[in-house]
């Protein structure tokens, strides 16, 4: 299937369930369907934050921030990262 919104929702759902193996598969498919868009990279960064992978999370979140017109959501995720 090539519905990017559905893949994004599925990946986020797996993140919330702590099923990061399945989340990674969904993000991989999402990247194939939609490309490396800032919103997707932001969500991938948040996924890494949930896993405790702070360095990888920061790299992804800063990449997303650099390409977003309105980085409010990314800034919130970076604030969460800085608190943890």
CATH match of 4-83 with 3.40.50.300: no
The pTM assigned to this predicted structure is 0.93
CA distance 47 to 56: 10
Q: At what angle do helices 72-83 and 54-67 cross, to 10 degrees?
A: 160
Give tens-digit pLDDT for 30-83: 999 999 999 999 999 999 999 999 999 999 999 999 999 999 999 999 999 999
Residue ranges per structural domain of the chain = 4-83
**Tens-digit pLDDT profile for residues 8-23:** 999 999 999 999 999 9
> Rounded CA gap, 65 and 14, in Å?
23
């Amino acid at each position: 299937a090539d519905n990017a919104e559905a893949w994004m929702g599925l990946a986020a759902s797996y993140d919330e369930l702590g099923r990061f193996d399945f989340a990674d598969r969904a993000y991989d498919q999402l990247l194939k369907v939609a490309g490396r868009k800032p919103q997707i990279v932001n969500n991938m960064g948040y996924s890494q934050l949930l896993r405790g992978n702070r360095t990888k999370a920061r790299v992804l979140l800063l990449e997303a921030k650099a390409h977003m017109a309105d980085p409010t959501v990314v800034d919130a995720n970076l604030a969460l990262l800085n608190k943890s």
